[in-house]
Amino acid sequence: MITGTSHASPVSPHTVGDALDHARGALEAAGLPDARREADELYAALVGRAASAAWLERAQPAPASLGARLDEAVRRRAAGWPQAYAAGRANFRGHWLTVDHRVLIPRPETEGLVDLVLEWMRGEAAERRVAPVVADVGTGSGAIAVALALESPAGRIVATDRSCGALEVARANVAEHGVASRVALVRGHLLTALGPGRCDVVVSNPPYIARSDWERLEPSVRDFEPREALDGGSDGLDAIRELVLAARTALRAGGLLVVEVDAPRAGRVAELVAAAGLAPHAVLEDLFGRPRYVRARRPADGSD
């Protein structure tokens, strides 16, 4: 669970450099090993720019509101909060998103899901000259939905989640990035919220941690991030089993399914996909060389 914050005295800095120096000192006092980098990254998240902004903007005046926000982020980080939760912001594919304990922190691995959908859209979808309908299942912060709305020709994106809190966070991010006209946020379990009709793409980062692995997770994940977005049941495959079967029905002929999975279970997920009649399918590696994504297609003959 999220713990309380420490009680470092707030500061009213004259410049960004003053604010960063104070932040670094507080983080060093809390025992963080790379306090300068941590302070720079917290600042970057708060202002929504690259980490280099902490150096380039050091001489600029620091509004009192910025000093207060950085001070609060530092107190949270010193108390052990993950950096993204401490700042309340996370970067996903260059897009800054609001995040808090109601949603998973978007990770680089999940950016690969977006790449796989974009690859498909540049290929078959472009040849068909259609504006694909995408279902982002278990949207959390809305990271995938927002990225696809900003980067792809998708005509409509339906982002589902069963958590009201997660949908509140996603709604804020959709509004901030100006894509509310293209992203529909719907509460419901997996694809049951999609309603009648078919979609061209189902993309998801579902819960896939086996319950037996829970206590072995890093404390920054286990103690802070929402368990319902991580716990995949006794073998980590509960949500994926349901999703694969539902996608077989929801996808149009030739439609794409892309799922992020736990590397040790990627082969088993591929078997589930094949058993559901989705083919061809492939297990693909993430940027760290680990089997991370299962990609499959609904047969083009359209048979049910």
pLDDT tens, residue by residue, 157-178:
999 999 999 999 999 999 999 9
pLDDT tens, residue by residue, 188-234:
999 988 866 689 999 999 999 999 999 899 999 999 999 999 999 99
Mean pLDDT of the 46-56 span = 91
pLDDT tens, residue by residue, 129-151:
678 899 999 999 999 999 999 99
- Residue 205 and residue 285 in one domain: yes
- Of the chain, the percentage scoring pLDDT greater than 90 comes to 78
- Residue 83 and residue 51 in one domain: yes
- Residue 113 and residue 185 in one domain: yes
* 132 domain-assigned: yes
Alpha carbon separation from 6 to 12, 21, 29, 32, 196 (Å, rounded): 18, 18, 11, 14, 50
Average pLDDT, the chain: 91
Please report the pLDDT score of residue 122 as a whole number: 87
* 101 domain-assigned: no
- Residue 226 and residue 124 in one domain: yes
- Residue 114 and residue 233 in one domain: yes
- Residue 81 and residue 230 in one domain: no
C-alpha span between 293 and 113 (Å, rounded): 7
- Residue 59 and residue 203 in one domain: no
Task: State the CATH number of the domain containing residue 64.
Answer: 1.10.8
- Residue 67 and residue 183 in one domain: no
- Residue 70 and residue 121 in one domain: no
* 95 domain-assigned: no
Which residues constitute the domain of residue 178? 108-297
Please report the pLDDT score of residue 6 as a whole number: 44
Please report the pLDDT score of residue 8 as a whole number: 45
- Residue 166 and residue 244 in one domain: yes
Structural domains counted in the chain: 2
Please report the pLDDT score of residue 285 as a whole number: 95
- Residue 202 and residue 79 in one domain: no
* 6 domain-assigned: no
